[in-house]
Amino acid sequence: MSVIYLDNNATTKVDPAVVEAIMPYLTEFYGNPSSMHTFGGQLGKAVRTAREQVAALLGADESEIVFTSCGTEGDNAAIRAALLAQPEKRHIITTQVEHPAVLNVCKQLETQGYTVTYLSVNRHGQLDLDELEASLTGNTALVTIMYANNETGTIFPIEEIGKRVKERGAIFHVDAVQAVGKIPLNMKTSTIDMLTMSGHKIHAPKGIGALYVRRGVRFRPLLIGGHQERGRRAGTENVPGIVGLGKAAELERLHIETAIKRETRLRDRLEQSLLAKIPDCEVNGDITQRLPNTTNIGFKYIEGEAILLLLNKYGICASSGSACTSGSLEPSHVLRAMGLPYTTLHGSIRFSLCRYTTEAQIDRVIEVMPEIVERLRALSPFKNDEAGWLQAQEQTLAHR
Amino acid sequence: MWDYTDKVLELFYDPKNQGVIEDNGEPGVKVATGEVGSIACGDALRLHIKVQVESDQIVDARFQTFGCTSAIASSSALTEMVKGLTLDEALKVSNKDIADYLGGLPEAKMHCSVMGQEALEAAIYNYRGIPRAAHDDDDEGALVCTCFGVSENKVRRVVIENNLTTAEQVTNYIKAGGGCGSCLAKIDDIIKDVKEKNAVTNLNTKGVNLTKEIANSGQKRPLTNVQKIALIQKVLDEEVRPVLIADGGDVELYDVDGDIVKVVLQGACGSCSSSTATLKIAIEARLRDRINPSLVVEAV
C-alpha cells in the first residue's frame, strides 16, 4: 500500500535533488569549513552558496542569514537575543496560538521576571490588532508572533503588526517556519527584524534551519563558543544540512508560484468535497487568509486519534489537534484559544499538502473519509443524543 | 503513534457489542445504563447492560463511546468481559482486569480502562437504584484537579486500587494533573498520605493470617460464635476498613446476633447519603464472600 502523505506541516519528504546535493558532503567532502587546509576550506564555498540560496528565498542579504539546527533553536535564539540586547525592557508580547518553541520560552521568562502578554484570537484564529496596540508600551522589548499557524494555516497580518511594533520601538520576531516556501516573502520591504525558518518543512532534512537577522539589529548569541556564523551561532557547521537547506530553498523559489496555485486547487477540492459529503463538519481557521496547503476540518461528535488510526489503515497520514495524539491530556491549545465547541475540537483533523501531492491521493481521501466518519459516529453516544446527554453537558459547560 | 497491542487494534477496528440495548419491557429482564466522562474531557462512555432479574446476571452488554482507540477497545473489551457475570461478580471487575484483557494499554491511556470500570459501576448502581455520585463519594470531598474536575476521594481510590506511587501515574489513570499541572503537588501529598495510612493498617493487621486458619477450621465444622465474631472482625480490619479510611470514613463492629452483623459507620461513612450502598456492597458482600453467604449487615 502506498503512503498518502498529507502531514506536510509536520515534516516533508526530502526532495531527491536535495539528497543528491547533500551526498558528496556526507562522503567525499567531510572536512571542517573552519580548517586552514584546502580540504576543509573548500566547504566554505558550499556554505556560502547555500547562504545565497536561502537569502534569495527570503529576499534578504546573505549576511543576514544565520544557520541554526532547527526552528526551535531559531525561535529561542531570536527571543533571547532581543532581550539580552535591551536589558532595561521587561515586557514581551506574543499570542496564545504560538508554537511551543515560543510559548514555552515565554512561560519560562515569566519565571525570570518578564511580563508576557498573550494576545487572544477570535473564532477564525485571527488577532485583534487593537488588543496588540493597547498592549504595546515603552517597556516592550519584543513582539514575537508567528507568520502562519501550523494547525489551521491562518496567516496573520504580519506587516500591519510590524508597522505598529516598530512605531513603539520594540524588536519584531516572526516564527515563519510554516510560511517560508509556501507564500512569497521579501525581507527587503518587510518590517520584520528576525525571522525563523526550518529545513524539514521545505523538503530539506531535519536538523537544519536558519534565522534571518536584519542588518543593524543587535544580536546576542544563544550558543557561545567558536566564531562560526560570524559569532552569532557557535558550533561546527552542519555542512550537509546547510547544503541541503540551500538546495531546498532554491527549489522552493523555483516552484512557489505554481505550487501555490496547484496546492490551493487540490486543498479546496478536498475541503469542499468533504464538507459536501459529510454532515456536521466545519473548517477551522481563517479561510481567506490561509496557507495554500492547509485545511483543518472539525468532524463533530468523534475523536481525532480514532479518525487518524482509521486513515492510517488506508495509508493516509494526517494530523489531529486531539489530546489523545499527544503526550498531553489537553486538546490543541490553538483550537481551544479559538473557542471552538468541544463537539468540534476533539475531532479536528489537519490535512497539509505539498508539491508532491497528487490528484489521485486527494480523491482517495475524499473516498474513504465519509466512511470513517460514519463508522465512528455510529459508535458515538453524542451523535444523535437521544438521551440528551450531550445537551445536558453543554448546558453545564455554558454555566461554567 | 501509540504502541497498541494486537488485541487493542483488533477491538478498535472490529468492535464487539457496539450500540444500544433498548428496554422493550421483556419480562424477567431489566436494562440499565451507566454514563461516565464528558465531551469536554474528550472521553465518554455509555454502557448498557441487560440483567436477568432472577439470577442477577448480565445477559447482554453494549456500548457507545466517544474517544480514542484505547477508549473504544476498552469499552468493547468490557462488554465481552461482563456478559454472563452476576452483578456482584461484575462489581469486582477492575480497570486492571480490562487492561489485562487487552494485553495492556500504554500507561498514558490507562484512564480509558478506568472509564470502563466506572461505567460498569454506574450501570450496576443505576440498576440497583443507588445514586452513583452519592455512592462512591467520588464527587464528594475537595476538588483536587479543577481542569478535569477530579475530587480528592477519587484520587485516593485510584491510588489504593492500583497501588500508584507517582502523580504522573495518577494523571495517566484519571487525568488529574494533566491540565495546568497546578495540582500535582497536592496529588503527591495524597499519595504520601495513602502510603502512611497503609503502613499503619499493615501494622494493625499483622498476624491476620489467622483469618485463613479460622476459616479453614470452619470448613471442618460449623463456626462457633467466638470464631465467627473473630473472623468478621478480621475481615473488617483487613479488607474493609482500609478502603473506608482512605475515603475519610470507618466502620466498627457493634454486635453479632446469629447471621445479623451490626456495625457502626463512622467518619464520612456515617454522614454519607449513600451509607446503605456502603453497607451492602462494601461490607455485606465482602463478609458474605469471605465467611457465610447468609450474613446480613445492618447499621446501628
Q: Which of residues 306-335 of A touch B (CB under 8 A)?
A: 306, 309-310, 312-313, 322-324, 327-331
**Residues B46, A389: C-beta atoms closer than 8 Å:** yes
Q: Identify which of B13, B68, B175 has the shortest CB distance to residue A305.
A: B68
Question: Count of CB contacts below 8 A, A vs B?
Answer: 80
| Cα A124 from Cα B37, distance rounded (Å) | 28
**Residues A342, B12: C-beta atoms closer than 8 Å:** no
Q: DSSP characters for A102-150?
A: HHHHHHHHHTTT-EEEEE-B-TTS-B-HHHHHHH--TTEEEEEEESB-T
Is the model's pLDDT at B234 over the cut of 50? yes
Q: Identify which of B66, B71, B72 has the shortest CB distance to residue A382.
A: B66
Q: Identify which of A313, A324, A379 has the shortest CB distance to residue B18.
A: A379
**B44 in contact with A at a CB cutoff of 8 Å?**
yes
Compute the nearest-CA separation of A90 from chain B (Å).
25
The pair phi, psi for residue B183, each rounded to 5°, is: -95, 0
Give one word for A321, left, alpha or beta, with left for phi > 0 and alpha for psi -120 to 50: alpha
pLDDT at A28: 95
**Residues A379, B71: C-beta atoms closer than 8 Å:** no
Neighbours of B213 (CB within 10 A): 9
pLDDT cut 90: percent of chain B above it: 46
**A280 in contact with B at a CB cutoff of 8 Å?**
no
pLDDT at A394: 80
Q: Cα A66 vs. chain centroid, distance in angstroms?
A: 19
Q: Which of residues 224-253 of B touch A (CB under 8 A)?
A: none
Lowest mean pLDDT among A44-48, A241-245, B8-12, B220-224: B220-224
**Residues B64, A331: C-beta atoms closer than 8 Å:** no
Mean pLDDT of B1-30: 93
Element (H, E) at A162: helix A158-167
Assigned C-alpha cell, B187: 496529588
From residue A142, alpha-carbon distances to A68, A87, A145 in Å are: 21, 11, 10
- Largest CA-CA distance found in chain B, in angstroms, rounded: 60
**B35 in contact with A at a CB cutoff of 8 Å?**
yes
In the β-sheet with B57-66, what is the strand arrangement from edge to edge?
A: B29-38, B43-52, B57-66
Name residue A142's beta-bridge partners.
Answer: A92, A171
| Cα A277 from Cα A297, distance rounded (Å) | 13
Q: If you search the block for the grid coordinates 465474631, which residue do you land on? A: B229
Evaluate whether A381 touches A343 at the Cβ level (below 8 Å).
no
**Residues A329, B67: C-beta atoms closer than 8 Å:** no
| Cα A261 from Cα A255, distance rounded (Å) | 10
pLDDT at A325: 64
Compute the nearest-CA separation of B68 from chain A (Å).
5
Assigned C-alpha cell, A176: 515563519
Evaluate whether A169 touches A119 at the Cβ level (below 8 Å).
no
Of the candidates A151, A152, A171, A153, which has an alpha carbon nearest to the alpha carbon of residue A161?
A: A171
Is the model's pLDDT at B25 over the cut of 80? yes
Q: DSSP characters for chain B?
A: -----HHHHHHHHS-SSBS-------TTEEEEEEEEEETTTTEEEEEEEEEETTTTEEEEEEEEEES-HHHHHHHHHHHHHHTT-BHHHHHT--HHHHHHHTT---GGGHHHHHHHHHHHHHHHHHHHT--HHHHS-TTSS-EEETTTTEEHHHHHHHHHHHT--SHHHHHHHH-TTSSS-TTHHHHHHHHHHHHHHHHHHHHHTTTTTHHHHHHHHHHHSPPPHHHHHHHHHHHIIIIIHHHHHHTTEEEEEEEEETTEEEEEEEHHHHH-TTHHHIIIIIIIHHHHHHT-TT-EEEE-
Q: What is the pLDDT of residues B60-89, one digit of tens each?
A: 999 999 999 999 999 999 999 999 999 999
Q: List Cβ neighbours of A259 (8 Å cut-off, separation of 6 or more).
A: A182, A252, A292, A354, A355
pLDDT at B132: 60
pTM for the structure as a whole: 0.82
**Residues A378, B69: C-beta atoms closer than 8 Å:** no
3-state secondary structure of A312: helix
Of the candidates A189, A201, A199, A175, which has an alpha carbon nearest to the alpha carbon of residue A77?
A: A175
Is the model's pLDDT at B135 over the cut of 50? no
pLDDT in tens, chain A (400 residues): 799 999 999 999 999 999 999 999 999 999 999 998 999 989 999 999 999 999 999 999 999 999 999 999 999 999 999 999 999 999 999 999 999 999 999 999 999 999 999 999 999 999 999 999 999 999 999 999 999 999 999 999 999 999 999 999 999 999 999 999 999 999 999 999 999 999 999 999 999 999 999 999 999 999 999 999 999 999 999 999 999 999 999 999 999 999 999 999 999 999 999 999 999 999 999 999 999 999 999 999 999 999 999 999 999 999 997 776 666 677 899 999 999 999 999 999 999 999 999 999 999 999 999 999 999 999 999 988 877 888 888 877 776 6
B-chain residue closest to A319, CA distance: B1
Q: Identify which of B15, B40, B43 has the shortest CB distance to residue A379.
A: B15
Of the candidates B121, B131, B123, B119, which has an alpha carbon nearest to the alpha carbon of residue B32?
A: B123
pLDDT cut 70: percent of chain B above it: 87
Assigned C-alpha cell, B272: 454519607
Decide if B41 is catalytic. Answer: yes
How much is the ipTM here?
Answer: 0.89
Of the candidates B259, B235, B263, B260, which has an alpha carbon nearest to the alpha carbon of residue B249?
A: B263
Is the model's pLDDT at B149 over the cut of 50? yes
Q: If you count DSSP H runs as helices and E runs as strands, how many of each does chain A have, helices first?
A: 13, 13
